[in-house]
Copies of this chain bind each other. A is one copy, B any other.
Amino acid sequence: MATEFDTGLPSIRLVQNYIKEKKTVEVQLTTGEKLSGQLLWQDAACFCLQDEGEPTLIWRHSVVYLHPQS
């Protein structure tokens, strides 16, 4: 399990902005499923998404793409 987390990476910073701005994002997963909600935080392994009820821990290795909901 990689535990490095380079906060200078543009992709990390873009996601960090979505977190600060509490944007609703859509996350496309490798299974074909799409989740949407607000990102609460990210770390080297996961994103934490607030959709309904309890937060969902999404593993980075399962994310295909991500964008703000239009």
Q: How many copies does the complex hold?
A: 6
| Contact B9 A43, beta carbon cutoff 8 Å | yes
Provide a sorted-by-A list of 13 A–B residue pairs whose CB atoms are within 8 angstroms: A1-B60, A2-B4, A3-B6, A9-B43, A31-B64, A49-B65, A53-B70, A54-B67, A54-B68, A57-B67, A59-B60, A62-B63, A62-B64
| Contact B59 A64, beta carbon cutoff 8 Å | yes
> Least Cβ distance of A44 to chain B in Å?
5
Query: What does DSSP make chain A's interface, helix, strand, loop or mixed?
Result: mixed
10 smallest CB-CB distances across A and B, nearest first, come from: A11-B46, A3-B6, A62-B64, A54-B68, A56-B67, A53-B70, A58-B65, A1-B2, A10-B43, A57-B66
